[in-house]
Chains A and B, each alone.
Chain A
Amino acid sequence: MKRRVLAAWTVVVLAVLPILVGFDPYWLTVFTSLAINALLGTTIWVLFVVGRLTLGHAAFYGMGAYGVSLLILNAGWNFWVALPVVLIAIALVAVAVGFPTLRARGAYFVLTTFAFAEIVRLGYVRFAHLSGGAQGLFGIPRPDPIVLGGDLLSISFSSYASLYYLILAALAIVSACFFHYVNTPLGLVLKSVHDEPMLAQALGINVFAHLLVTFVVSAVGAALAGALYAVSAGYIEPNLFGIHTSINAQAFAIIGGIGSVSGPIVGAAFLTTLSEGLHVTRTAAPLVTGVALIVASFLLRGGLITLPSRLAGFGASKRDRTRRSPRATHRRRRARP
């Protein structure tokens, strides 16, 4: 219950942020990238629930961005038609990638997703006649207005604020869906897949099917984030979808904390505003991410979302503080001989 309240508050805070800065265009672009990063981080989090770590989400993020942009620019499609078509296509790609890799051990999955993302990135450069090559694609238009009848009942996405709220709505919907995915009886099955794959299998749970469905759902979420990135930035190029994007996506989830659905949102907010606040150049940004990842791994297990309870409950036992984190369960399992 507490986590649901926390998640709702996170979204409320994100919704009032533009009012606090007086709808300043600069800060609105920062918040837009924050919300897209949070969406990407959330898709990483849902995979952590079943105990898988991917280094390939830049591929799905990039395919979402390229797919929607190409359909809009080359075929003249409406954004709202192109988006579902691209998401369905990417779901099929995710099935094809997940099918052989999820059967093997976790390490094979990490390495294969990593290799897949790199090959996809090379593909953008190779098939330049289609994708614009290393120069990328320019002039991707904003999402088409939603016309429900009359001027009063239509929503246009021409302003920074309206675009931000569109992305925030996507983030809220995806987070809510993932939250319910994890916190229903199905979620208990997913946890068993993470904690005791052998036992779950023995109880008749189809571990592989649950892994595959979660992977596909997560990949489609990443593709949605990519499509929204393309229409909000208006420009994409292959290097935006390299290994650094996959690492950043991990960083949002891990630094924020994988114990709760609001973790990736907090992590994305922290890293995005930290880079802006410190005026870190694009060259130096990986240094910040790297240091934050190592700090989170050693000093702040459970991520930033555990910080308030850590500060409040120094007297409480360590087990209480880390009880919610899936990793804590994982650790207990490993501790047994």
Chain B
Amino acid sequence: MSDVLQVVVYGLTLAGLYLPIALGLNLIFGVMQILNFAHGEFYMLGALFTWGLLSTLEINFVAAVAISLLLVVGLSIVIERGFFRPLGDDIQRSLIVALGLGLILQTSVVLLVGPDVKHYEFPFGGMLSTGGISVSAEKLTTTLLALGSAGLFYLVLQRTRLGRSIRAVAQDQQAAMLQGINPGRVRSVTIALGSSLAALGGALGGSSFGVEPFMGFDFLLYSFIIIILGGLGSMEGTLLAGVLMALLQSAVTLYVGATEAAMASFLVLYVMLLVRPTGLFGRARKSLM
């Protein structure tokens, strides 16, 4: 029984790592038709800026996270306006540009800050254990914050006027414009929301795993697997697939091994593409790319 609880607890911490990235990636794809391979870099920069602010200015942890979120959001809006918007919905070109930007950001960090792992402290530590399972207070807090922000993000999309206009542009840009929605503004808001979620995930995850230039990459891989499983463009699909994938990985990691967990997730993806190519909640679309 405690085994199962351990799997669930570890699975939820994994979900807390994947969901903030996967939701943002999927929303960006839905609104702008961009497979943002630079998204892992927003995650990395969120952690890197937090580390930089904490180690040089010695400010409050919450303030450092907030400032680094603002920095990443600013950068993402500049990238969207300067690089993605001129390309319109040309999915191949924007993918190439995103790959190029990812390489530039990653390598710049390697050259400027160095490839070694850097650490910073989470404000409170200690272990909590009940009923045979144990979890660190840090893991618990970061997971709850990450899952909470992912849930909040989903509510914003579903329940607010802003969220409705974002979903309208994702569904049909022409029709949205006819309703008086400014698609340019929606694009900026979308990338700001997506990158801030990723940066928050990075700032929280960086304290447990350390900060290094390539840290965003693994999460990017699993996030992409999750959004295909859930269906491109479907937020519900991403939420469900993210939790299921995290539980599967947690179980396979605990009983077999970490590499096998990665392979199992690919196997699930493969079977899903054979059985239901559009994912759990995806709809078939007209364009073939």
| Other-chain residue from B91, B103, B277 in contact with A103 (beta carbon distance below 8 A) | B277
In contact, B221 and A126 (Cβ under 8 angstroms): no
Q: How far is the CB of A297 from chain B (nearest CB, A)?
A: 5
Assuming A51-B289, A108-B228, A197-B288, is B221 touching A115 (CB within 8 A)? Answer: yes
Question: Which residues in chain B, 97-120, are within 8 Å of chain A measured between CB atoms?
Answer: 97, 99-104, 106-108, 110-111, 115
Q: How far is the CB of B89 from chain A (nearest CB, A)?
A: 8
The residue on B at minimum CB distance from A292 is B100
A residues near B153, Cβ cutoff 8 Å = none
A residues near B255, Cβ cutoff 8 Å = none
A residues near B51, Cβ cutoff 8 Å = none
In contact, B273 and A100 (Cβ under 8 angstroms): yes
Q: How far apart sit A306 and B260, CA to CA, in the bound complex (Å)?
A: 46
Q: How far apart sit A327 and B245, CA to CA, in the bound complex (Å)?
A: 37
Assuming A106-B289, A293-B100, is B260 touching A287 (CB within 8 A)? Answer: no
Complex interface bits, B61-95 against A, C-beta within 8 A gives 1, otherwise 0: 00000000000000000000001001101111101
In contact, A297 and B262 (Cβ under 8 angstroms): no
Assess whether B186 is interfacial by the CB under 8 Å rule: no
Assess whether A53 is interfacial by the CB under 8 Å rule: yes
A residues near B224, Cβ cutoff 8 Å = 111, 114-115
Assess whether B270 is interfacial by the CB under 8 Å rule: yes
The residue on B at minimum CB distance from A283 is B110
A residues near B111, Cβ cutoff 8 Å = 283-284, 287
Assess whether B209 is interfacial by the CB under 8 Å rule: no
Assess whether B278 is interfacial by the CB under 8 Å rule: yes
Most buried by B among A101, A284, A290, A327: A290
Interface residues of A (CB under 8 A from B): 51-53, 99-101, 103-112, 114-116, 118-119, 122-123, 125-126, 197-198, 243-244, 247, 250, 254, 283-284, 286-287, 289-294, 296-298, 327, 331, 334
Assess whether B287 is interfacial by the CB under 8 Å rule: yes
Q: How far apart sit A264 and B228, CA to CA, in the bound complex (Å)?
A: 30
The residue on B at minimum CB distance from A103 is B277
In contact, B278 and A119 (Cβ under 8 angstroms): no
Assuming A105-B285, A293-B103, is B95 touching A112 (CB within 8 A)? Answer: no
Question: Which residues in chain B, 15-39, are within 8 Å of chain A measured between CB atoms?
Answer: 29, 35
Minimum-distance CB pairs A-B, first 9: A106-B289, A290-B103, A293-B100, A100-B273, A290-B104, A126-B259, A287-B107, A104-B277, A119-B266
Q: How far is the CB of B92 from chain A (nearest CB, A)?
A: 5
Residue pairs across A and B with Cβ atoms less than 8 A apart, 26 shown, are A52-B289, A100-B277, A103-B273, A105-B289, A107-B232, A112-B269, A116-B266, A123-B263, A126-B260, A126-B263, A198-B288, A244-B103, A247-B103, A250-B99, A287-B107, A290-B100, A290-B104, A292-B100, A294-B97, A294-B104, A297-B96, A298-B86, A327-B92, A331-B90, A334-B89, A334-B90
In contact, B91 and A118 (Cβ under 8 angstroms): no
Most buried by A among B95, B103, B228: B103
Q: How far is the CB of A70 from chain B (nearest CB, A)?
A: 19
**Chain B interface secondary structure, helix, strand, loop or mixed?**
helix
A residues near B1, Cβ cutoff 8 Å = none
| Other A-B pairs, 9, CB within 8 Å; known A106-B91, A290-B104, A297-B87 | A53-B95, A103-B273, A105-B287, A108-B232, A109-B289, A115-B224, A283-B111, A290-B102, A297-B100
A residues near B204, Cβ cutoff 8 Å = none
Q: How far apart sit A119 and B263, CA to CA, in the bound complex (Å)?
A: 6
Q: How far apart sit A111 and B278, CA to CA, in the bound complex (Å)?
A: 13
In contact, B96 and A250 (Cβ under 8 angstroms): yes
Assuming A111-B35, A123-B263, is B108 touching A105 (CB within 8 A)? Answer: no
B residues near A331, Cβ cutoff 8 Å = 90
Assess whether B122 is interfacial by the CB under 8 Å rule: no
In contact, B270 and A100 (Cβ under 8 angstroms): yes
In contact, A106 and B273 (Cβ under 8 angstroms): no
Question: Which residues in chain B, 241-258, are within 8 Å of chain A measured between CB atoms?
Answer: 257
Assess whether B274 is interfacial by the CB under 8 Å rule: yes
Assess whether B225 is interfacial by the CB under 8 Å rule: yes
Q: How far apart sit A244 and B213, CA to CA, in the bound complex (Å)?
A: 14
Assess whether B217 is interfacial by the CB under 8 Å rule: yes
Assuming A104-B273, A105-B289, is B262 touching A119 (CB within 8 A)? Answer: yes
In contact, B263 and A112 (Cβ under 8 angstroms): no
In contact, A286 and B106 (Cβ under 8 angstroms): yes
Q: How far apart sit A291 and B270, CA to CA, in the bound complex (Å)?
A: 34
In contact, A293 and B97 (Cβ under 8 angstroms): yes
Question: Which residues in chain B, 165-216, are within 8 Å of chain A measured between CB atoms?
Answer: none
A residues near B227, Cβ cutoff 8 Å = 111
